Amino acid sequence: MIIILKRGAEEARVQALCAELVGRGLKIHESTGSEARILGLVGDTKSINESWLLANPVVEVVRRVTEPYKKANRKFHPDDTVVEVNGVKIGGGQFAVIAGPCSVESEEQIEEVAAAVKASGAALLRGGAFKPRTSPYSFQGLRADGLELLRHARRATGLPIVTEIMNTEHLPLFEDVDMIQVGARNMQNFELLRRLGQTGKPILLKRGLSATLEELVMSAEYIMAEGNEQVILCERGIRTFETSMRNTLDISAVPMLKKMTHLPVVIDPSHAAGISWMVEPLAAAAVAAGADGLMIEVHNNPACALCDGAQSLTCEQFDALMQKIRPEAEFFGRRLSAG
């Protein structure tokens, strides 16, 4: 349920109303936007009588919210949320490109890629240290050593770092990671989501391989329900009957998610395509569809990459992509965030 307050509503009366609602066991999610001040009620609102609320002189409108997601719902928060990752803004017209290798492989590799993507205009550096691989015999990542190499690369370039967590036990290792990624395979690891909700850190939440948009938003709700509103949604391709690409990029997820929620939406064309030459056209489509950012895999030597080489751009290809994306993003009214 949401309550839209009257303009200039008397503060003492608003506080009295909030106290009464809290006394009835509800949580209040307040949003003061450009258009209106809204009280979002979270909890069991069945017993709340709408005419009782409407009789209150500070109340303009009362509306029931039927969707199961509340805090992530745009009805609760009409303005776009802007997530700030160590000074880099994503959302609300700020467009950020996250780039880097699929996995951190060596000091030389991550330093070289980090310097190159920074020079081309990436705002954040990605790199997997803990890798969720389909086969237990594939490279699993450098783990804690990989995180250390990412910290080095951050020191060298100033780019905030984004890296994936796979389980709650590793949380202490992620204390100084700027944005924590939840991979597609962990989108419904609810225990992990809850714990991330208690960190207050920006979270990049990737859509599961066969998750609906509502399921994705409900996973964001798990994080937000614990008090962490710094969530970015990432569409990275879903499983369909098509076999000529790794996944099918669901470009329609962008406008639909932006209607459903106020959270920033980022597109990962690399995992969607699985083929490097498709990354640029899909990235361009993402910008046109209204995405708030991109996540792109870049490697200094894709042919020798230990993970996802086929979809990785070379540093030169990434530079060419950025030169196309920059004017396009500006054309569509977004400003590129710098790292």
DSSP secondary structure of 60-96 = EEEE---SS--TTBTTT--SPP-EEETTEEEBTTEEE
Residue 268 interacts with Mn ion (CB under 5 A)? no
Binding mask 270-299 for ligand PEP (x = CB under 6 A): -x----------------------------
Task: Give the CA-trace dihedral at 267, 272, 278, 280, to 10 degrees.
Answer: 10
Residue 269 interacts with ligand PEP (CB under 6 A)? no
User: Can you say whether the dihedral through the CA atoms of 290, 273, 231, 163 is positive or negative?
Assistant: negative
Residue 308 interacts with Mn ion (CB under 5 A)? yes
Residue 184 interacts with ligand PEP (CB under 6 A)? yes
* Among 87, 132, 227, 327, interactor with ligand PEP by CB under 6 A: 132
Choose between 39 and 306: whose C-beta lies nearer to Mn ion: 306
Residue 40 interacts with, from Mn ion, ligand PEP, none (CB under 5-8 Å by kind): none
The answer for residues whose C-beta is within 8 angstroms of residue 243's C-beta and 6 or more apart is none
Longest Cα pair distance anywhere in the chain, in angstroms? Answer: 69
Choose between 41 and 98: whose C-beta lies nearer to ligand PEP: 98
Query: Cβ of residue 271: shortest distance to Mn ion, in angstroms?
Result: 6
Query: Cβ of residue 237: shortest distance to Mn ion, in angstroms?
Result: 11
Q: Tell me how far the alpha carbon of residue 316 is from its chain's centroid.
A: 26
Residue 206 interacts with ligand PEP (CB under 6 A)? yes
Residue 98 interacts with ligand PEP (CB under 6 A)? no
* Among 91, 121, 183, 202, interactor with ligand PEP by CB under 6 A: 183
Query: Cβ of residue 246: shortest distance to ligand PEP, in angstroms?
Result: 9
The DSSP code for 238 is: B
| Range 304-333, binding ligand PEP (CB under 6 A) | none
Which tokens is 126 given?
């990605």
CB 287 within 8 A of CB 328: yes
Question: Helix H segments across 68-198?
Answer: 107-120, 144-157, 190-197
The answer for residues whose C-beta is within 8 angstroms of residue 27's C-beta and 6 or more apart is 41, 42, 43
Of 204, 206, 216, which Cα lies nearest the Cα of 256?
216
Which tokens is 187 given?
């989108």
Binding mask 74-113 for Mn ion (x = CB under 5 A): ----------------------------x-----------
* Among 102, 129, 166, 266, interactor with ligand PEP by CB under 6 A: 102
* Among 89, 236, 258, 262, interactor with ligand PEP by CB under 6 A: 236
Contact residues for ligand PEP (CB under 6 A)? 102, 128, 132, 183-185, 206, 236, 271
Contact residues for Mn ion (CB under 5 A)? 102, 308
